[in-house]
Amino acid sequence: MKFATFAYCFRFIDYLILKNIYIFEKFCHLLYAVSVFRVIRSFLLCGICLVGILANVEGAHIVRKGDTFYSIARANGVSVQSLMSANGISDASKLPVGKRLTIPSKVSQASVSKKVNVSLKATSSPRRSASKSKTVIIDPGHGGRDKGAIWGGVRESDLNLKTAFKVKSYLQRAGYKVVMTRESDRYVSLSQRAAIANRYRNAVFVSIHYNAVRQTWVHGGETFHAGTSASRYLASSLQRNLVSKCSVKNRGIRYGKFSVIHNTNCPAALIECGFMSNSRERSRCNTSSFQDAAARAIVAGIERWDRSY
């Protein structure tokens, strides 16, 4: 009986030892699996970093959130036009995150410095020397017998002209040659406006308007382009600055079938600074401060476009 008891005790002890060994082995296997997982994860992270490094070497760029054609072109010392051309892109407003862009070959830094120094010596205005579109055609919409929209006693033709004069002043300060299609409350036909713009080479055309619709709740700013890549980028640049400087709702850019921008030979856009049909926005648009902000936005948009084209 005692022997049987001892035997059972030894068997139980043996069972406990074997069970603990089994648990220990499982624990060791778990540790091994965790170690392998960590090693694999490290390799994956290294691979991701390597891909990122290789993708962003000179000659390539992976589009990140917040990137624009202008910011990428500026960072790599190339023009927006050459960057878009190298990647077969015609619409500057479409730039998906994660897209790999090919950076066109750049001239050497020494060559760039030499060209800048030469241009600085040749002219007293550095801004104009870097400009491609030295003549800006400003078109205050409507005028004379064509009053445009009239809401709450406010005439669109008046707002357009007031804003245009401010744009002219700021552009001239920046060194641009400015031509206005009208400088008083007089009627100028659409064909005449386009003809004025077509007298000048190396120019850009911006038509200034304020909007109105029957739905009085509609508000915000929008910009129209003529369909070319240069006009689309001009509209995009104007719209971006209008929204940021005037704090208006972004109604975006779109193709517009307006003869005043289609019949011009140079890049052209038509900007709608706000809705006169919306009482709150009309009150803002009728103030000198808003017109000044809109003018600064238009000038900033033109300058940004000019740096790229």
Q: Which residues of 90-122 are buried (b: 16+ CB within 10 A; e: fewer)?
A: eebbebeeeeebebbeeeeeeeeeeeeeeeeee
- What three-state secondary structure class fits 122? helix
| Residues of the chain with confidence (pLDDT) below 50 | 2, 55-57, 107-130, 132
How many C-beta atoms lie closer than 10 Å to residue 86's C-beta?
14
Enumerate the domain spans of the chain: 9-55, 60-102, 131-308
Q: How confident is the model at residue 187, as a pLDDT?
A: 97
| pLDDT on residue 176 | 94
pLDDT of 83: 76
Q: pLDDT tens digits, residue range 224-234?
A: 999 999 999 99
| CA–CA separation, 69 and 78 (whole Å) | 10
One CATH from 3.40.630.40, 1.10.3720.10, 3.40.50.2020, 3.40.50.2300 for 131-308: 3.40.630.40
Model's pTM, two decimal places?
Answer: 0.63
Nearest-angstrom CA–CA distance, 297 and 302 = 9
Q: Which residues contact 137 (CB under 8 A, 6 or more apart)?
A: 179, 180, 181, 196, 197, 200, 203, 204, 205, 206, 264, 266
Could you please report the per-residue DSSP string of 53-101?
HHHTSTTEEE--TT--HHHHHHHHT--HHHHHHHTT---TT---TTPEE
User: Looking at residue 95, what is its pLDDT?
Assistant: 72
Phi first, then psi, for residue 36 (nearest 5°) are -65, -40
Give the tokens for residue 88: 């077969």
pLDDT value of residue 68? 74
**Fold observed for domain 60-102:** Membrane-bound Lytic Murein Transglycosylase D; Chain A (3.10.350)
Residues whose CB is less than 8 angstroms from the CB of residue 246 and which lie 6 or more positions away in sequence, other chains included: 221, 273, 274, 290, 293, 294, 297
* CA 102 to mean position of chain CA atoms: 19
Distances (CA, A) of 82 to 78, 90, 142, 254: 7, 11, 37, 23
> What is the distance in angstroms between the CA of the first residue and the CA of the last residue of the chain?
105
Question: What are the structure tokens assigned to 76, written together?
Answer: 């790599």
Residue range 30-42, pLDDT digits in tens: 655 556 566 666 6
Distance CA 68, CA 56 (A): 16
pLDDT at residue 81 in the model: 73
